[in-house]
Chains A and B, each alone.
Chain A
């Protein structure tokens, strides 16, 4: 659509290349560094998970890439190349040709992301007609097909329903239908299931995954729950305080965790096998202040392995293997890491002690079984 660059596709370039992306918000108290130097690549037809706690900057990152940051107090830096075009240079008006048509987003809360006073039908057809120039009837037929595709029962009747007449899961299906309607090549899903019941979460994730596969879309799946992305992404980027602290193929990340923060996130995934027996190991402390981030490693105030160097020197991204990067002075699994841990336990550092206890309780449980 926009420009021949997309049409030709620059075949061997990835769909999306983000480099040195920064998004800062100016507040009276100072600059909120919500996204602070992110590099990211999404290949055609692949799914990347962006994982991090609440407040780590995932939403801001996704919206900055899509150029959906509203507000006059935003400062953005870096580059976002979509099919060869730097979106940060695209004028606002022109972005409308990308939104919905080339890239679209499924938002977190299906309760509020549909207009309560507009019928479902119009909400699915309006951009079909706008982008693809379909007639009313064609658009309606397409909408019907889409609703069936995302497995909405009685699709025909739903077209004339209002959002409040649908359950949360059904609404999120509608949102997915809306997002994929014009055949985008890049789909963002920003915590698409957090607002939903656990039983519905899996169904929605399945719908998303199937659409992604069948339509061969690139997908960016944002979540705070590593468990959600586990089997559903090709790659995972772990975000902390506006930075990506570890990135790897999903398998490599689960098999060979390097960053202590990723390890902590993994530890907090409930495992059905001993869910009822042990408390989850919650990450000690709060996410950092984004206006005045800690010196050195931003995770240092909460890290169980932190040593003096962590409080003064910021670790840079380094490769563990060709498709696995992390930024840490004492990577998990290394000898220095074990030594650092023992030192911290000896010093009775709370986060280190809490992990020791957690390990002990797991070991005990293993003994009982």
Chain B
């Protein structure tokens, strides 16, 4: 058990290292560098000025030296600063992350709250009317792009009913209800597709779990169907769901550009797009490494949840 956890931690550290190398050099491969944006266009032809600045910035050092310098700062949390706004990347993150984080958690939360019961009912009533109705409804949800859902929700709940704000994000510290109200519509827009995916996963796994002998044994003990579904079948049916939830949290934390744009919320996604359009290399690098790190941590968490859910993994049988 402890060995298992240690092994997973070690793997996470190794992955992080690989990720940092990859992102650093991939951004490095992009055409142009800091020199191109920092030096005003009229001075670009003045070789002396250009060279002097490049030297000062360390842009002429070999790549691995630059990587070393960058990594040294990065592990202390210093991801450098924007060449354009002079804002440290860590400050940018601390402003944008709460928005994205909240959006992500709400979206995944909404998706799970509906997906799990729907998936269970679908599996339990496999092939019957309720299963077909649920599957049909979810199929519809799956095929509508999330910004279309967003536009509809804004029109209905913000403009027609006026219950919820159409755009903007309020800090939790300013107003709790304002904060929650602001996040509902964008989160629901994001949740719809995930809900369909999660529900299908649960349904498929549940259907195969329900064929298991131990489900029949539980039935032969006189336990109710509800009890069997909740206390015997759900846990073994949730492993692929856990993996996919992890992946989706990762991709949502990496930013949800369209929805952030639609609801005028400046999250990580917007920050990244801005940086890319302005070729703000330091910011691109910093954000990319951050997102990759998030993925690694989520994957590790997923592994730990697996261990908690299935005791067989704990004793190292799989």
Contacts and interface: CB of A to CB of B under 8 A. Distances in A.
Interface of A: 66, 68, 70, 96-101, 104-105, 107, 109, 112-118, 126-127, 130-131, 162, 164-165, 175, 178, 182
B236 A115 contact: yes
Contacts of A99: 219-222
25 contacts: A68-B216, A96-B224, A97-B222, A99-B220, A100-B222, A100-B223, A101-B222, A107-B217, A107-B220, A113-B216, A115-B218, A115-B236, A116-B236, A116-B312, A117-B235, A117-B236, A117-B310, A118-B235, A126-B227, A127-B221, A130-B222, A130-B223, A162-B311, A178-B217, A178-B221
B232 interface: yes
Nearest to B209: A115
Contacts of A105: 217, 220
A188 to B, nearest CB: 9
Q: Which of B219, B220, B231, B312 has the most CB of A within 10 A?
A: B220
Most central of B212, B219, B309, B310 by chain A CB within 10 Å: B219
A117 B118 CA distance: 23
Interface string B186-222: 0000000000000000000000000011101111111
Nearest to A104: B220
B218 A66 contact: no
A78 B207 CA distance: 31
B277 interface: no
A70 B216 contact: yes
A118 B217 CA distance: 13
B86 interface: no
Interface residues of B, number: 23
Contact of A113 (B217, B224, B309): B217
Contacts of B310: 116-117
Interface string B289-318: 000000000000000000001111001010
B232 A118 contact: yes
Interface of B: 212-214, 216-224, 227, 231-232, 235-236, 309-312, 315, 317
DSSP class of B's interface residues: helix, strand, loop or mixed?
helix
A68 B223 CA distance: 13
Contacts of A162: 311-312, 315
A142 to B, nearest CB: 14
B317 A66 contact: no
B220 A114 contact: no
Contacts of A115: 214, 217-218, 232, 236
B232 A164 contact: no
Contact of A107 (B216, B222, B223): B216
B237 to A, nearest CB: 10
Nearest to B214: A115
Contacts of B221: 99-100, 104, 126-127, 130, 178
Contacts of B212: 112
B7 to A, nearest CB: 20
Nearest to A175: B217
B313 to A, nearest CB: 10
Given A98-B222, A116-B310, A127-B223, A164 B214 contact: no
Given A109-B213, A116-B312, A165-B315, A68 B220 contact: yes
A126 B223 contact: yes
Contacts of A100: 220-223
A17 to B, nearest CB: 21
A265 B216 CA distance: 30
Q: Top 9 A-B pairs ranked by shortest CB distance?
A: A100-B222, A99-B222, A100-B221, A127-B221, A112-B213, A115-B214, A162-B311, A113-B213, A96-B222
A109 B219 CA distance: 16
A104 B218 CA distance: 11
A175 B220 CA distance: 12
Contacts of B220: 66, 68, 99-100, 104-105, 107
B312 A164 contact: yes
A234 to B, nearest CB: 24
A334 to B, nearest CB: 43
A206 B190 CA distance: 60
Contacts of B224: 96
Contacts of B235: 117-118
A56 to B, nearest CB: 20
Contact of B214 (A98, A112, A127, A182): A112
B214 A116 contact: yes
Given A101-B222, A130-B221, A130-B227, 10 more contacts: A97-B222, A98-B222, A100-B220, A107-B216, A109-B213, A115-B218, A116-B214, A118-B235, A162-B312, A164-B312
Contacts of B236: 115-117
Contacts of A112: 212-214
A131 B222 CA distance: 8
A117 B213 contact: no
Nearest to B314: A162
B231 to A, nearest CB: 8
A117 B314 CA distance: 11
Given A116-B236, A118-B232, A164-B317, A127 B222 contact: yes
Contacts of B218: 115
B151 to A, nearest CB: 43
A113 B222 contact: no
Most chain B Cβ neighbours within 10 Å, of A117, A118, A162: A117
A101 B266 CA distance: 61
